[in-house]
Chain A
Amino acid sequence: MTGWIARLVPLVFVLALAALWEMASRFGLVDPRLLPPFSDVVRTLGVLLQDARFRGDLGFTLSEIAVAFAVVGPLGLGVGFFLGENILAYRMFAPALNLLLSIPKSIFLPVFIFAFGIGFLQKVIFAITLAFFIVVLSGIAAARLVPPGLAMAARSFGATRRQIYLQIYLPAMEPLIIEGLRMGLIFTVTGVLIAEMYGSPRGIGRDLFAWGEMLQMRELFAGVLLVVVVTIICNELLRSIEEFRKSCRRGFR
C-alpha cells in the first residue's frame, strides 16, 4: 500500500508541474511568448513528430547516443574493474584520473571539432569522453565492493580464476555495474546534445539551439520536453532493472 502511494507521488508531482506551467502561461504570470502554455507545447511536439526532417534528426541523435553508450559502457567498466583490482595500476593512474575528471570537458569542444569535424563521429567521441570517467569510477567502486576474503574462500574450494570472476565478482558487483551504466547513459546524452548544440549539421541538439536563437519557443519547449521524457524513460528502465535484480538477489549489508 505504501509502496503504491510512493509510486504515485512522482506522477502527481509531474502532473502538478504541468498544471502550474499551463496556468502560469494562460493567466499571464509569465510572458506566454517566453513560456508558451503546456498544452500548446504538447500540440507542437505532436506536429514535430509528424515531420520527416525532425524525425530524421531524432534518429540521428538517438543513434549517436546508442553508439557512444555501447562503447563507453563496457570500456569504462572494464578500465574501472582493472584499476579497482590492480593496486599498482590504481596508484599510477588515479591522480591523472581525478585530474581529468575535474576538468570541464566542454571547453575542449573546439578542439574536438578541429580533430574530428562536426559530424557523427565527433559527437560520439565527445560523449564518450564526457561519460568515460564517471563510468570508470563506478567500475572501480564495483570491484572494491567485493571482499577479498570471498575470493580466497572460493579459491580454497577449488574455484578457478574464471569461476571467481564469473560466479563471485560479477554477481557481487551487479548493483554498482547497473548504477554505473545509468550514470554513463545520463552523461552520454548530455555529451551528444552539448556537442550538437555547439556545432552540428543535424540532430536534436542543433534544432534546440536554432529554435532558441530564433525565439521559436513552442518548438524549443517541445524539443526540451521530448528530450526530458526520453531520458526519464531510459533512466527509469535501467533503474527498474536494478530494482528488479535487487529484489531477487541480495547484496552485502
Chain B
Amino acid sequence: MPSGVQMTAEDIARETIVVDGVGKTYGGGTHALTALTDVSFTVREGEFATLVGPSGCGKSTLLQILAGLVPASSGLVAIDGRMVTGPSPDKIGVMFQDAWLLPWKTAAENVEFPLVLRKVKPAERRKRALPLLELVGLASFADRYPDELSGGMRQRVAIARCLVQEPRVLLMDEPFAALDEQTRTRMGNELLQIWEKSGGTVVFVTHGLTEAIYLADTVFVMGTRPGRIIERIAVPLSRPRSIDMIGSESFGRLRNHIWHLIAEVRT
C-alpha cells in the first residue's frame, strides 16, 4: 500500500492490521519533535512482520500506537476492521522489553492477572493459565515468584500472560533484547513454534537485523529523523526456520542489504 493513497473501507476490512498515514509529534511550536511521519503499511492475517531500525526511529512509539496505548497525531490504525482508539485486550496481546511481572504475584498469578481484571472466576483462571505455562515450558514454576526466575523465564511468563486472553494479534516491543544471545535465539524459535500453532498475527519490533529476518515473513525497515518506513522486504526463506539458515548466502545478502539501507539513511 503506497503512502498517501486513501484506504477504502474494503482495504481496511481485508487486512488484519492497517496503518495509514500515521504521524506522531510530541510538543508544539518550535519545540515540536516529530517521532513518526506518514507511516503506512498493512499486515495480513497470520503474517509475522518485524519492524527493524536504529534506535530513535520511533519503532517502539509505532508499536504503542498500534496497541492503542499512545494516540497517533495523524493518520489511522485499524485492527481486524476496527479503528484503534484504545487498548483492546481481547484482540491484542502486547509484550515489552521488560516482562513487567507483578513481583508480589507468582508466575501463575501473573499469567492470570489479565483475567483477574476481567473478573473471571479463580478456578476458570487457573484452568486457562496452567496450559499456557506448560506451553512456555514453565509448568513446574507456576508457584514461583518473579525474583526466583531468570530473565528468559520471566519473558516466557510474559508470553503466557500475553496469550491468556487468546488475542489474534501479538504486538512485541523488543521482547528479547535484554536477554543473552543464546537465550534470545531459543526464545525466538519457541515464539515461532507458538505462532505456527496458534496462527495469529505478529508485529515484532527489534533492532537486531538477524532476529528481524529470521523470524519474519515481512521485514519493515525504518529510518530515523523523522521515523518512517523506508522499505518493505518479503523474506524468501521457507518455514519452519532453522538456525542453519542464518549462515546461508541469501540470508547474508539480505542482512547486508538492510544494513546498507539503515546506514545510508543515517549519514
Contacts and interface: CB of A to CB of B under 8 A. Distances in A.
Asked whether A and B interact, the reply is yes
B128 to A, nearest CB: 14
Given A152-B69, A152-B96, A253-B147, A168 B102 contact: yes
Interface string B104-136: 100000000110111000000000000000000
A153 B117 CA distance: 12
B201 interface: no
Interface string B76-100: 0000000000011110111010101
A146 to B, nearest CB: 11
A79 interface: no
B103 interface: yes
Contact of A150 (B89, B94, B102, B165): B102
A3 interface: no
**Top 10 closest pairs, chain A to chain B, by CB:** A158-B89, A157-B114, A153-B100, A156-B94, A249-B104, A250-B103, A157-B89, A250-B104, A159-B117, A149-B100
Nearest to A163: B117
A252 interface: yes
A240 interface: no
Interface of A: 147, 149-150, 152-160, 163, 167-168, 171-172, 249-253
Contacts of B161: 157
Contact of B113 (A152, A157, A252, A253): A157
B67 interface: yes
A251 B101 CA distance: 11
B89 A156 contact: yes
Contacts, number: 59
Contact of B116 (A160, A167, A253): A167
Contact of B104 (A155, A163, A171): A171
A172 B103 CA distance: 8
A250 B145 contact: yes
Given A149-B100, A250-B104, A250-B145, A158 B114 contact: yes
A158 B118 CA distance: 8
B145 A149 contact: no
B93 to A, nearest CB: 8
Contacts of A249: 104
Contacts of A156: 67, 69, 87, 89, 92-94
A59 B76 CA distance: 67
A150 B158 CA distance: 12
A247 to B, nearest CB: 12
B103 A252 contact: yes
A252 B67 CA distance: 26
Contacts of B114: 157-158
Contacts of B118: 158
Interface string B122-164: 0000000000000000000000011100000000000001000
Given A154-B117, A156-B92, A157-B113, 12 more contacts: A149-B96, A152-B69, A156-B69, A157-B87, A157-B89, A157-B114, A158-B88, A158-B89, A158-B117, A167-B116, A168-B102, A251-B104
A157 B100 contact: no
Nearest to A251: B103
Contacts of B69: 152, 155-156
A167 to B, nearest CB: 7
A156 B170 CA distance: 11
Contacts of B113: 154, 157
Contact of A153 (B90, B94, B145): B94
A40 to B, nearest CB: 50
Nearest to B146: A250
A253 to B, nearest CB: 5
Task: Give the most central of B92, B102, B165: most A CB within 10 Å.
Answer: B102
Nearest to B161: A157
A88 to B, nearest CB: 14
Nearest to A150: B100
